[in-house]
Amino acid sequence: MKKIPVALIGASGYTGLELIKILLSHPYFEIAFLGGSEGGEDICAAHPSLRGIFSAPIEKSDFGAIADRCSLAFLAVPHTKAIAIAKELLARGVKVVDLSADYRLKRETYEAAYGVKHDDAKNLAHAVYGLSELVGQEAIASAKLTANPGCYPTASLLAAAPFLPYADLSAAIIIDAKSGVSGAGRQCVARTHFATVNENCFTYSPIVHRHAAEIEEKLRLETKSPIEIVFAPHLLPITRGMLASVYLRLKKPIDDPTRIAREFYAGNPFVRARDESVQIKWVVGTHYCDIFCRVHGGVIFAQSAIDNLLRGASSAAIANANLMCALPYETALPLIAYAP
């Protein structure tokens, strides 16, 4: 099979590096364009770990050149920056997987959460939310524009989804989630400074975190019910990985929640329902989401662990691109965790 040329815009960030690592071992995709806001340097200058393995210039994004060379583009750019790029590429017939939040939400939800106007209603109306376990692989396979889910929403939604039919949706869903510092991106801010994070754990943007709007909207769409969530994200003194604990009030008893989870995710091998409490080390470096669940009284405790840079961003983008290009979902997805 002839290789499918792809572009990566935003190649210098953490998710850009993870995309490059997967694409270099992908049997059907090849990197044909690396884009950045300025361009002018080799990718090895941004990511020295690639030296001697892969070299290519980071170019200033030229939409015509991308369309001439590429069939699909990954947008690993900051929130609010992808809209202008996606519009141009889609108009030129290039499929897009957007890793930002710009096409994940309904227009009014997006504008309230991100404080900017969304001026691409046409493409937003046709964007597919790229969490295949919820929307179905067929929907993503037919998409021209896939909106990659956020990392916290991925972990939270996959933990909660099997139990929504049993939940009392009049009660708030409580989500306690913890992430490694790589989720904040490559640019250092005071919150992610070593002296702040080391030997520490703290909540940031509780209740009002932007991902709360995404989680709440997708739960409402899934259940067709009004839902309220209480979302508390925490920062851990680790580089990568995410652990989400979700608490739902039950409206009827559940005898075997693990069986319910396994049946719900039958046919989705990258969600593993475990018999013991999950650990970040089991999934870091992989596309897997591990979940664990128990019932206590009238509450279901559902926990998930993912790699925030992979399942929460880059490997999810590859999985979506696989489907959009009529390839098997699992192609080139990382399987083995870094840690023992």
| CA 234, 236, 241, 246 torsion-angle sign | negative
Q: For every residue of 82-151, which 3-state class applies, written as one string?
A: HHHHHHHHHHCCCEEEECCCCCCCCHHHHHHHHCCCCCCHHHHHHCEECCHHHHCHHHHHCCCEEECCCH
Phi and psi angles of residue 208, each rounded to the nearest 5 degrees, phi first: -100, 5
Return the amino acid letter for 243.
L
SS3 (DSSP) at 296: strand
Record the tokens describing residue 287, joined without a space: 């596309």
Rounded Cα–Cα distance for residues 64 and 89 (Å): 8
Return the amino acid letter for 196.
T
Question: Cβ distance 191 to 204 under 8 Å?
Answer: yes
Residue 30 belongs to what H/E stretch? Answer: strand 29-36
Record the tokens describing residue 1, joined without a space: 């099979």
Rounded Cα–Cα distance for residues 194 and 84 (Å): 34
Question: Cβ distance 247 to 173 under 8 Å?
Answer: yes
Return the amino acid letter for 181.
V
Q: Which residues are catalytic?
A: 151
Record the tokens describing residue 193, joined without a space: 């400074």
Question: Cβ distance 9 to 77 under 8 Å?
Answer: yes
Angle value at C-alpha 24, between 69 and 9, nearest 5 degrees: 50
Question: Cβ distance 275 to 118 under 8 Å?
Answer: no
Residue with tokens 């009660």: 171
Characterise 66 by phi-psi region: left (phi > 0), alpha (psi -120 to 50), beta (else). Answer: alpha
